[in-house]
Structure 1
């Protein structure tokens, strides 16, 4: 499957029109139509529904668009990395980060590294541990910052010298704010917001026990910023890690740890046998020196 044809396919999927896509690609409409037909014949699947006003993707087409974007992005990154392979002072380091205050330690290491190598840039992908590992496994990231539980068999890794403390974020005027910590009985019948990773990873079920089946979940999420606004609006309480949202000063929110205490380990990981670019190698050396 030719990379050029994949770019043609993505342009048509984006523009929803062969005419507009041909203009963007600086090619003729007949040529683009022929290339798309050959692509469909080559994969043996219908990729487009051709309407009178616009072109839409079939289910197979949507699958190919996702994979094609990954393939094109990986190729472009590889070409960029190769062009800078012998340059220790420039290039882009791609880091995926789950929500954790360990990123402050990483930020300190990056700040220190910038003094010696100011031309190195950092592309940060934010998501859950599940989302970060997915990008890491596809080769789209150099490093991942992951929150346990996580399967480390595929990776080399460093364990951060700190853990994340799990708890609930609530309004300061909530009756629960008067407590020093939160027990399972305290949240019975309370509306809660919970991340999908917490549910999928059984983070909460171990603490709640049998009560996890009766949890009054009003919303799930993957990043805490928007749920924090919803908690502030009075929608409920949110399970989260400490120090991700400002709960000091004039904030209407506060954080209370769970009882029994729940802590999770944090890791900086990269794929085993990974061949680092020079900037990535310099970055890892700085992180090892300053954090670990």
Structure 2
């Protein structure tokens, strides 16, 4: 199988058009068509569905795309090493994160561990759904999510469909996290109904957030919160917490970091659900050296019960 044909195939899949791919590759459309016919003969199956609107991947074509993309990325990394001296080594890390605020010094520790002159850290803070999509599409090597056990069965099935694997690093209760000036902290115990008079700050809703609308917390459902604030940036959420009568649903893994900003964490009474801290990656994909170093640091910070694994 020719590497060049795989490279053509990846560009065609991403452009969704032979004509556009030909322009990107500075090649002719007939050459790309011949290359795709040759690739399909080697695979023994159709890879592309051709129409007047362009091309789409067949199920086999979609699987080949992810493997081809991985192969090309790894070969590019190896080729890049040939051009680098020890003094100009580059390090890169792509991580997608949902519903957890990292400790400030975690990335500093990672930078100090890799010891390279040029370090690129792409930390994609987003929703659980987009973390899964980012890892599945090879945009992020690793995904980190904090979800509740009510969401977990569907989360697990989604990962299986997208050929992703996961590891549960730890479990813990659901907290509310509020400014140290919040009137809520005057209560000896906090119940879900006590939160109804306050603004609920959350990330943009996605499929997994919508699942929570079926979750009852001591008789209170997410749809009962009439005052909400939607924000897409963790640090903006923290700033809002400091100045508004508002709260977030959080977890124990960000308690220490939030406490530095005078954000207090309290458990909610009569809540049976728990949070799970999980990392994900693509199946059969070897974690890079930088990814491995990051995970080792991450486990040091947060992983207390790494006793549940799906391969």
**TM-score normalised by length of structure 1:** 0.57
Deviations 1:159-216 (A, max 9, x none): 59xx79643679x9xxxx533276322344877565443443x49825x243317525
**Cross-structure match for 1:266:** 277
Query: Residues of 1 paired with 2:224 and 2:268: CA distance?
Result: 17
1:76 equivalenced with 2:72 (yes/no): yes
Deviations 1:207-251 (A, max 9, x none): x2433175257889794559959x89xxx96744377999969xx
Deviations 1:109-137 (A, max 9, x none): 224325x3344533333333454345546
Deviations 1:44-96 (A, max 9, x none): 874433xxxxxx457x5698997786455423322234447899964423323
**Which moves more between the two structures, 149-158 or 104-113?**
149-158
1:215 equivalenced with 2:211 (yes/no): no
Give structure 2 stretches of 5+ with no counterpart: 304-311
**Cross-structure match for 1:6:** 9
C-alpha distance 133-109 of structure 1, shift in aligned 2 (>3 A): farther
SS at match of 2:123: strand
Query: Residues of 1 paired with 2:33 and 2:129: CA distance?
Result: 38
Query: Residues of 1 paired with 2:93 and 2:192: CA distance?
Result: 42
**Cross-structure match for 2:96:** 96
**Cross-structure match for 1:108:** 108
SS at match of 2:220: helix
C-alpha distance 157-26 of structure 1, shift in aligned 2 (>3 A): same
Deviations 1:251-274 (A, max 9, x none): xxx888563297745355667886
Pick the aligned partner of 1:183 from 183, 191, 198: 191
SS at match of 1:43: coil
Query: Residues of 2 paired with 1:271 and 1:22: CA distance?
Result: 30
Query: Residues of 1 paired with 2:48 and 2:284: CA distance?
Result: 36
1:30-179 alignment, distance < 5 Å: 30-31=30-31, 43=46, 46-49=49-52, 56-57=53-54, 60=56, 70-71=66-67, 73-83=69-79, 90-113=90-113, 116-133=115-132, 135-136=134-135, 141-149=140-148, 154-155=165-166, 158-159=169-170, 166-167=175-176, 177-179=182-184
Report the CA distance between 1:28 and its aligned residue.
2.7
Query: Residues of 2 paired with 1:103 and 1:204: CA distance?
Result: 31
**Cross-structure match for 2:215:** 205
